[in-house]
A and B are shown apart, each in its own frame.
Chain A
Amino acid sequence: MNFFKTLKTIPLLLSAMLVTSACSDEPANMECDVETIWLEIDDPSSVFDDPSMAYIYLDYMVSTEADGLNINWEVKPDCELGAYPVYFTLTPGATAYIYDENGARILFRSGDVVDFSDERKTIVEVVSQDGAWSKRYSLSMYHRQISTSTFTFDFNEGSYDFHLSAKGDPGNYYKFKPTDPQAIASLFRNPDDPYWKNGNPGFAISRSSATPDQYPTTVAFGAGPDGSDCVLMQTVSTGGIGAMAKIYIAAGSLFDGEFNAQKAMKSRSAARTATQFGVPFDRKPISMTVDMKYIPGPAYWNEDKVVQPAIVDEPDAYIVFYRNDGGLLDGYNVLTSSKIIGMGRLKHNLNPDGSDCPGSHPIHGLSAEWKTVKLDVEYPNGDPDPEILKNMGYSLIIGFSSSWQGADFRGALDSKLYIDNIVVECEDILGE
């Protein structure tokens, strides 16, 4: 008996055992997402303001909705809805079904025709490869509404809902929506998602223990200038889980557009792209008037949590109008993109090249007392092009933040921006 032969068999046996077990069959997929979905219509410009709207990538949506979601397409106000083939891709191995009028489940294949008339909703159920998980989606189309030239947001009762968790339980943060029908018709047209966006869905992942009033964007009950409710945006710590992504603070924010929570906690660079600003809009924005008050936090941090004694935190408020043919603006370029044609912004110290200049003497003029601020939209290169405007080729952004450098993860914990009573004035240069 050769000893060394025996000796060799020990690690061999060990690795054999590990390898045999490691080579067990790949488990079937548990996920059941619609990953992309699109319509094929002979003359898409007869239906959509922008034909590229036929395609929907569900990145943003899978990130925030656990129990399925509403997929919808906005169509021209005067468009007559019909039946169109729907194409989609699913998580590999997943299967989609729809229900017929008798409630029987039938297979739904990419390319099958769906009837969208009367803005009806079709329920699609996607079942995972392992059969254990499923998710429901609704498919529908809705007509774009036509707004008038002025709309408002009062943030009073009825303007906020609790976020619902995957199980349908009340979640732990508020979602804000307009109540003014003109505001809904102008920027919050999607009937399945009529909400303002902010970083709360990302914060929810990093700070599961936070109560609603500890979220970056929350309700201040009875704290408005007229004693009614208002919005409180505050700069808060993201806790230990946020720190792992080297994201230490979350500034309160409020804007119209999309928030991609999937990217929010990945890394600093990905987080800047999580905020997707703006909604297509066909009026010329003139001004935004808003009631605000601001209390800066005591210690301003740079992105690495180092206190900057010479800097006082500042809030931000802006109204931006931009050409939307290059996609949505994000945290990198929301105030600097060359696509911007008109802007009104809270006053700040700026460097000679126009970039932000944080310092010790802010000039925004806000304090712990309410103040009404009017931001006029300036168009340095002239009015919007009426033809582009008519085809929804511009998007409007209304945005706020409790720390103006919050997109770069700089700001002071406990900076608090209260806002209420937003009034946006526009001009109908199309003469409709």
Chain B
Amino acid sequence: MKSVRYILIMVAVMAAVAVQAKDREESWIKYGPTSKSTQAGFLVRAGYVIGGTTPLPVPAEIRGITEFSPKGGFNVGVDAYKMFTRRWGVATGLHFFYQGFHTVADVKGYYMRLEMEGDAVEGYYTGRNVTNTAMWGFTIPLVGTFAISPRWNVSVGPYISFYVDTSFDGEVYENGDGVSYLRVDVPTGSKKEIGKGTNSYDFADVDGENKMRQWGAGLEVTFDWKALPHMNVFGTVDWGLTNAMHPDFKAVQFTMYPIYATIGLAYRY
């Protein structure tokens, strides 16, 4: 996978930088474990979340994204860490998050299926698709942490998320060329035009059933920079590897991965 390769390259670059840099003992004394002995502690983190729930790679049927805006997400949590050596340790925690985004995409021949009260219409849609998502929940990561230098830490490991509340709604209507139609069943099927205000959907409430999964799992990568003896600036990427939708839900043909980054501050005890 392309994405995994990017992460590996980043980690390698960071490591190389770390090796080149001459560790200064006073740095370790100031920021890190004071000796080779083990150390444990807590981190309280708070950050701003940006990202989206997206098929990867973005399929060719999505011709262009005309609007994308994150909807003010945040992430607060507590991590506990335990260093086994000066450089190596493990960490886990509990993060409470809110993630959301709004996107407008022009699609062509995009397969979709809509079920309402026992009736279904499916086919290939061409037009404009507006999507809004929001997810509240908890994430529990279990990461290995490596001190690249006295001030730099990288943590990598799996996480699991539980969603308390999810929404995924949107609407389809005419694109910039005034085109919005569904070819019923097959691309040669009957043509059904869809007008603005007539075709909104809510995948979190399909006949009262939430088609979004209540859990997810993925890979978490965090970089911590010890700005002050007790204060970190950090960046985290939670890369979802499980479908945000129920696998039997056919309205979205693609696997939708939640991919969110958090940028924030952490207090170290």
Contacts and interface: CB of A to CB of B under 8 A. Distances in A.
Nearest to B224: A3
Interface stretch (A98-106, A241-249, A422-430): A241-249
A245 B61 CA distance: 25
Contacts of A24: 57-60
Nearest to A240: B116
B228 interface: no
A205 B116 contact: no
A206 B185 CA distance: 13
A201 B117 CA distance: 19
A27 B126 CA distance: 12
A133 interface: yes
Interface string A29-63: 11111000000000000000000000000000011
Contact of B233 (A3, A13, A201, A270): A3
B56 interface: yes
B187 interface: yes
Given A14-B261, A66-B190, A30 B198 contact: no
Interface stretch (A15-23, A140-148, A289-297, A303-311): A15-23
Contact of B197 (A13, A25, A267): A267
Contacts of A266: 192-195, 198
A351 interface: no
A239 interface: yes
Contact of B198 (A10, A66, A133, A245): A245
A67 interface: yes
B124 interface: yes
A262 B191 contact: yes
Given A3-B225, A6-B223, A14-B259, A244 B193 contact: no
B119 A207 contact: yes
Interface in B55-69: 56-65
Given A13-B6, A209-B118, A266-B193, A66 B188 contact: yes
A300 B8 CA distance: 67
Interface in A240-270: 240-241, 243-246, 261-267, 270
A363 interface: no
B235 to A, nearest CB: 5
B51 A166 contact: no
A240 to B, nearest CB: 3
B175 interface: no
B207 to A, nearest CB: 8
Determine chain B's interface SS by DSSP, over half rule.
strand
Contacts of A78: none
A66 B184 contact: yes
A333 interface: no
Nearest to B109: A30
A166 B122 CA distance: 14
Interface string B229-250: 0000101010000000000000
Nearest to B223: A6
Nearest to B198: A245
A381 interface: no
Contact of B193 (A13, A21, A26, A270): A270
Given A244-B198, A263-B193, A270-B193, A239 B187 contact: no
B235 A32 contact: no
Given A21-B56, A30-B124, A265 B188 contact: no
Most A CB atoms within 10 A — which of B109, B152, B181?
A: B109
Given A17-B6, A18-B58, A206-B121, A62 B192 contact: no
Contacts of A339: none
Contact of B116 (A13, A22, A244): A244
A166 B185 contact: yes
B117 A240 contact: yes
A302 interface: no
Kindly name the residue among B117, B119, B200, B227 whose own CB sees the greatest number of chain A CB atoms within 10 A.
B119
A326 interface: no
B72 to A, nearest CB: 16
B183 interface: yes
A64 B190 contact: yes
A241 B119 contact: yes
A17 B2 contact: yes
A347 interface: no
Interface string B86-124: 000000000000000000000011000010111111001
A263 B121 CA distance: 16
B116 A32 contact: no
Contacts of B116: 239-241, 243-244
B17 interface: yes
Interface of A: 1, 3, 6-7, 9-11, 13-14, 17-18, 21-22, 24-27, 29-33, 62-67, 128, 133-135, 166, 201, 205-210, 239-241, 243-246, 261-267, 270
The 8 closest A-B pairs by CB, nearest first: A240-B116, A30-B187, A21-B57, A240-B117, A245-B198, A267-B195, A266-B193, A21-B58
29 contacts: A1-B14, A3-B233, A11-B50, A14-B259, A14-B261, A17-B2, A18-B54, A21-B58, A22-B58, A24-B59, A24-B60, A27-B109, A30-B109, A30-B188, A63-B191, A64-B190, A65-B190, A66-B189, A67-B188, A207-B119, A239-B116, A241-B116, A241-B117, A261-B190, A262-B192, A266-B192, A266-B193, A266-B195, A267-B198
Given A21-B58, A30-B183, A265-B198, 4 more contacts: A27-B61, A166-B190, A209-B120, A262-B190
